[in-house]
A and B are shown apart, each in its own frame.
Chain A
């Protein structure tokens, strides 16, 4: 069977069609089998060089991408902004063009500015994979979240997913909304009114400020971290107040009295948005998400990388 993605770069979920997402899922399923073999490496991308450009801190995403690249036998270059010429005043395009001059085939980039990945894809001649651009999109995270929900519940169509927490600053939330809606799931966002963007209902999502009501409605709760580093002003009175109103703990889950699958894109602030007993409970699929992350990223790299010479 031969199928292709409709895009050349992975900038955001918004630019994908449902059949692209389905193709990524099918490919990721086989890669998941590959990474559970005794020898976890396949030689597909033997002659491909990938650079991981990280202008912003990350542990999980970077390790996950790096592992995915290595399992595909690609050559990997790592780049972190803090130890580079960016601090000497080089522009983004110059940095990337210099790296590409060394014959690099693909760029995986995280950048604090929304739109950085799209900008780069228009200006340089390479395959760009967005690993998070500011508060805009984080497509591979949304793909792995949706893949994990599909794995846990069988399908996405008709499922109810609530995204709890800091929606305003979250690229994970936006990508998740696009991805889940394209796959036929219903999405609700829940959080303090100050952290829910204006006009978000135009995306077709439900808005709820009461955590208990939101949990009673949903099948899956995707809990986001409170991004204190992005908060230039006070969005809620105190962290303690946030915990009391929006922290997910065993007590509120028992009160809801139905089985909800709990997800978190990491990093977790234990005791803030989610308590330890919930994060480590059986209904949490947080570590499955991490495992699926490698498989999904392998699928994305494989599908995008295979198109270049054609």
Chain B
């Protein structure tokens, strides 16, 4: 994925990476580390975006989410923005993320990078530009992505209601 990013964004002088709170942060940090290793001179613009207040299920869902931090210390106006999240499922989070992002200005372009794309489960016409892996899963399955930073082993778990089996994916 990092190779693809470099192909499209060259030295990232006019691009920035924004991870979605809370779980896209781990992935975006890893990507930033990787890119920095290849080209240490590059100053990558990197931020975190919380989308809680832009969700479309306020007052409709049982749970009320507690927001986390938004941390964007650069101007997104006119930049190419790469949104980063772990799993793309219904697309509703990304819809909210785009709304939230536009509150900070008008980016030149918005791209989407996800580690896992759950195909055929979209509620909205949203597709990723960069994908780590694509899987077929039924709606009742859960996809858990775990990170070392989270105190667990790196890995992707597909959990069915009846049994649980693991597929390991490497970036």
Chain A contacts to B: CB under 8 angstroms? 1-4, 23, 26-27, 30, 33-34, 37-39, 41-48, 72, 302-303, 305-310
Contact = CB atoms under 8 A, between A and B. Distances in A.
Nearest to A305: B59
Contacts of A23: 66
Interface residues of B, number: 24
A172 B22 CA distance: 37
A30 B59 contact: no
B64 A43 contact: no
B159 to A, nearest CB: 19
Given A2-B64, A33-B69, 14 more contacts: A3-B66, A4-B64, A30-B70, A33-B70, A37-B104, A38-B103, A39-B104, A43-B99, A44-B55, A48-B59, A72-B53, A306-B59, A306-B64, A309-B59
Contacts of B167: none
The 6 tightest CB contacts between A and B, nearest first, are: A42-B53, A39-B103, A30-B67, A306-B64, A2-B63, A44-B53
Contacts of A72: 53
B104 A307 contact: no
A67 B60 CA distance: 24
A303 B52 CA distance: 12
The binding surface of chain A is classed by DSSP as loop
Interface string B34-57: 000000000000000010111100
Nearest to B59: A309
Nearest to B103: A39
Contacts of B103: 37-39, 41-42
Contact of B54 (A2, A27, A44, A309): A44
A44 B58 contact: yes
Interface string B1-34: 0000000000000000000001000000000000
Contacts of A308: 59
Contacts of B59: 47-48, 305-306, 308-310
Contacts of B105: 38
A2 B65 contact: yes
Contacts of A307: 64
30 contacts: A1-B22, A1-B65, A1-B68, A2-B66, A3-B64, A3-B66, A4-B64, A26-B66, A27-B66, A27-B67, A30-B67, A30-B70, A33-B70, A34-B53, A37-B104, A38-B104, A39-B104, A43-B54, A43-B99, A44-B54, A44-B58, A45-B58, A46-B58, A47-B59, A72-B53, A306-B59, A306-B64, A309-B59, A310-B59, A310-B61
A68 to B, nearest CB: 13
A44 B61 CA distance: 13
B62 interface: yes
Contacts of B68: 1, 30
A303 B64 contact: yes
Nearest to A34: B53
Nearest to A2: B63
Chain A CB count within 10 A is highest, among B59, B62, B70, B105, for B59
B61 A1 contact: no
Contacts of B58: 44-46, 305-306
Contacts of B53: 34, 42-44, 72, 302
Contact of A310 (B50, B62, B65): B62
A1 B66 contact: yes
Nearest to B66: A1
A47 B65 CA distance: 18
B53 to A, nearest CB: 4
Contacts of B104: 37-39
Nearest to A299: B67
Contacts of B54: 42-44
A21 B164 CA distance: 39
